[in-house]
Structure 1
Amino acid sequence: MLNLPRQAHDAISRMIHPLVGRFGTANKDQVIARAVPVETKFQQVRPEDSLSISVMDQGVDDIASRDTQARGQYLARQDLWEELSAEIKAAEIARDKTPGGMPIADLLAFGARTDVVNAVEHALAEGHKPDSRALIDGIMALEAVRMPFRDDPYLAAVVALAHIDIGWAWRGTGWENTLPAANRQRWSAHFDRAAALLAPFDNMQLNSPIFAATCCAVLQGNTTDTTQVANGYERLIDLDPTDNRHLRALGNHMLPRWSGSYPALELEARRTAARTEHIWGAGGYTWVYFDAIVNDELACAQVDVDFFLDGLRDIVKTRPTQEMINLLAAYCSVALSNGLGLNEPSDLPRLKIAESAEWLIRDHLYELHPLIWAHAADGFDNNTRITSPSRFAARGRADAMQIIADLFRDEIDQGHKVTLTNEGPQFSLA
């Protein structure tokens, strides 16, 4: 066993994510021990010198998502609220989505509230006091423009989502016992207002995924009733089982820090897998645990690894797009490594799942989507504030290139240049 101080041992643990597939998981200390000299040696070679892969800074899905968000933002800025509502409703009825699977209705609603939410996030970052006009003017204006359309559920959802986003800006994603009282009060107030906006409408009759998703999101600040939360997500997932974000949100919401418990998380993962088997195969189980095991060590310790891995393969079979392959590869090699070494019972599941990065990259990856890898480094935290998109993407690209090059270490050390293509890796003498 390598004799390292605990701090150094943990730091090296976070570096071994690309190596676990080659060295195995029987003894993590052996993995770490072997990683030390090799890592030092390999840092002398830049990945770009020995690795070639197409980089999609702006993929088809990125462009479609950006354009749809811009459309929602334009309609809001021009006070074209009836037109915004009509476009959201039409997209909902048709279940229109971008090539990568993002619902058009969600993107329109996101764009429509972007200016208001961004203004609050900026004011908080600048240290404005809670009673600052900069923190309330935007949402009050949004409330005012909704008043003539108070019977419109889609505009109610847009304003409710703005309150939810602002509530999260006040709260952050840490544990509640670390939250200042003033922040907790503002968080609760915004979630209460969001709930009040949704209350007049019948979620069961609307047949609207965006409205059902908003109802589920508001529960995170308004209830600890596990059954109510589980039932809400069951309805949402039944409305649109192809949207993996709903399954991921269910898993996160089932954590004890929110409205669930570890047994409830396992139960809902298995129930969801059974209900969505016709869409995802075993992937429903994987999606429910996807974010939960990144965010919670005890959830990671209890996950059925074999079931999770079966789900990974079924997800790839179901949706073998490069966006999905990048998401899964970044998840296995980056997001899961963030908690490695913090809790011994969860380390073995992390390492076993992380091994999947090898077959995902070697067998399926031929385009690099840097933003996905950058988000993986932050644990796919939707509340991460990105001050420079270009630097954010550059960080994701650098991380991904290093990880991919590490996976092809043997071939590169033999003098080969590796080119990732849609027909698999191609090797040539450098």
Structure 2
Amino acid sequence: MLNTPRRALGALPSKLFGQTMARLRQGLAPQAAAVPEDLLDIPVRDLSPEDEAARDSRDQGLFLARQDRWEELAQALRAVDQARALTPGGTPLADHLSYGARSDVVLAVEEALADGKGRKTNDRALLDGIMALEAMRQDHRHDPYVNLVLAQAHIDIGWAWRGTGEPQALPKLNRHRCAAHFDRAAHLLAPFTAETETSPALAAARCALLAARHGRTGEIADAYAALINLDPRNAQPFRALGLHLLPSRAGSYGELELEARRTAARSQPTWGAGGYAWVMFDAIARDPQALTQVDTDFFIDGLQDIVTRRPDQAMINLLAAYCAVTLRRDDGGAPRRRIAACASWLIRDHLSELHPLVWAHAAQGFDNNARVGSPRRFAARGQADALRAIAEQFRDDLDHGLRITFTPEGPIIAPGA
């Protein structure tokens, strides 16, 4: 629901509002600058249309799985997959529906491993859930979408065993369990090669598996190209491709640049130059060396083309947060500064409401593995970062006591009260 703005932090209760402003004044937030609370008003969405759509889809998947209504779940997955149905922010509804269906199992394993129970190989949290899904599958072994959910659960659990550390530092047990889950996912998906040619959801699972098992660069690039061709409106495969082509994964900087340009050419009718920006998006945020080698003019042209084609507030918040927060975390020299400077026109010319969770994730580098202790504090921190970034763009006006009010038609600058 869209909140009525209350002195820039309309979504926060008064106590937390005061604490957040105090932290900003004291410099406890990164690069924080004082935000004049009486002079900056912007509507805040605690839950954006993107968040609502993702939540509803995940809840539906979770409900159907808990009720053992797997045939109905498979039909729902097939419908949204074949329709290429996306959330307002551009992510496939099939992704959220499937994640909801497997989330009980995956989260139990992740929590058990995070608590150190992975050393107990017979811990029930590590086995019971996935074995229950395997037993359920016996009644639906020929349904590609039931197999998809189970395969994705194995991939998720494989990554949970893999963790985020260096592969050579992994204990032997972790390596074996990780490989076993990836192997099982491959076995489950193997009978549905023909369906993968028309199903974005199955094609995405194949890409995830190839990347997880360190497939060859050319094979990974070809698989992502096929997925992008199936659903070019979905930016997630572009971004994942870029990450998997980093030297720390399966590729090189030369291959990253080459595939970014190839992808931009193929997706030009949908994104213009935006295909290049999407492939580079997470790669240059994750790897400072990739940032120094990016074609900055091409990337900025891509950002402009993305905004032209998708001017909704979900997209504007994503791009503005990326430029203003994500790319300010590392020193990448002139390319970083030029791309980060795009926050100015994104905020001044296109922003009309604030999505705090997007900004909070931007501070984490859009890392899906980042653990969030308190969602409320996470959102509040994102809101504080966003306000700092907005204030930077209007610093002269604010220093002269002018009031900035964001409207759907753009920011209005007027004398303060």
TM-score (norm 1): 0.86
2:190 is the counterpart of 1:199? yes
Superposed CA deviations along residues 293-338 of structure 1, whole A, max 9, x for unmatched, are 0111221121100000000000000100100000001101111122
Residue 401 (structure 2) aligned to one of 415, 420, 429 = 415
Q: How much does 1:288 deviate?
A: 0.3
**Residue type of the alignment partner of 1:365:** L
Residue 45 (structure 2) aligned to one of 46, 56, 79 = 56
Residue 241 (structure 2) aligned to one of 245, 250, 265 = 250
Residue 149 (structure 1) aligned to one of 136, 140, 143 = 140
Residue 113 (structure 2) aligned to one of 116, 124, 134 = 124
2:323 is the counterpart of 1:302? no
Give the aligned partner of residue 73 of structure 2.
84
Give the aligned partner of residue 17 of structure 2.
none
Give the aligned partner of residue 426 of structure 1.
412
Give the aligned partner of residue 164 of structure 1.
155
**Residue type of the alignment partner of 1:90:** A
Give the secondary-structure state (helix, strand or coil) at the position aligned to 1:339. Answer: coil
**Residue type of the alignment partner of 1:171:** R
What percent of counterpart residues are identical? 57
Give the Cα separation in 2 of the matches to 1:203 and 1:296: 36
**Residue type of the alignment partner of 1:220:** A
Give the Cα separation in 2 of the matches to 1:47 and 1:217: 45
Q: How much does 1:280 deviate?
A: 0.2
Give the Cα separation in 2 of the matches to 1:247 and 1:371: 22
Give the aligned partner of residue 12 of structure 1.
none
Change beyond 3 A, Cα 1:208–1:44: closer
Give the aligned partner of residue 27 of structure 1.
none
Q: How much does 1:191 deviate?
A: 1.6
2:269 is the counterpart of 1:283? no
Change beyond 3 A, Cα 1:294–1:184: farther
Give the Cα separation in 2 of the matches to 1:121 and 1:204: 30
Q: How much does 1:178 deviate?
A: 4.4
Change beyond 3 A, Cα 1:412–1:207: same
Write the mapping of 1:310-349 to structure 2, written as runs, cut at 5 A. 310-340=301-331, 346-349=332-335
Give the aligned partner of residue 87 of structure 2.
98
**Residue type of the alignment partner of 2:368:** N
**Residue type of the alignment partner of 1:148:** D
Give the aligned partner of residue 129 of structure 2.
138
Residue 102 (structure 2) aligned to one of 113, 125, 128 = 113
CA RMSD across the alignment:
1.8
Give the aligned partner of residue 269 of structure 1.
260
CA contact (8 A) 1:329 1:361 kept: yes
Give the Cα separation in 2 of the matches to 1:308 and 1:180: 40
**Residue type of the alignment partner of 2:363:** A
Q: How much does 1:108 deviate?
A: 0.9
Give the aligned partner of residue 219 of structure 1.
210
Q: How much does 1:406 deviate?
A: 1.8
Q: How much does 1:258 deviate?
A: 1.7
Question: Which stretch of the first structure deviates more once superposed, 300-309 or 192-201?
Answer: 192-201
Give the Cα separation in 2 of the matches to 1:404 and 1:249: 29
Give the Cα separation in 2 of the matches to 1:287 and 1:411: 33
Give the aligned partner of residue 381 of structure 2.
395
CA contact (8 A) 1:172 1:383 kept: no
Residue 381 (structure 1) aligned to one of 367, 370, 373 = 367
**Residue type of the alignment partner of 1:165:** D
Give the secondary-structure state (helix, strand or coil) at the position aligned to 1:417. Answer: strand
Question: Which stretch of the first structure deviates more once superposed, 259-268 or 309-318?
Answer: 259-268
2:36 is the counterpart of 1:66? no
Give the Cα separation in 2 of the matches to 1:85 and 1:187: 27
CA contact (8 A) 2:91 2:235 kept: no
**Residue type of the alignment partner of 1:119:** A
Any gaps of 5 or more consecutive residues in structure 1? 1-38, 341-345
CA contact (8 A) 1:224 1:258 kept: no
Question: Which stretch of the first structure deviates more once superposed, 414-423 or 97-106?
Answer: 97-106
Give the Cα separation in 2 of the matches to 1:320 and 1:337: 23
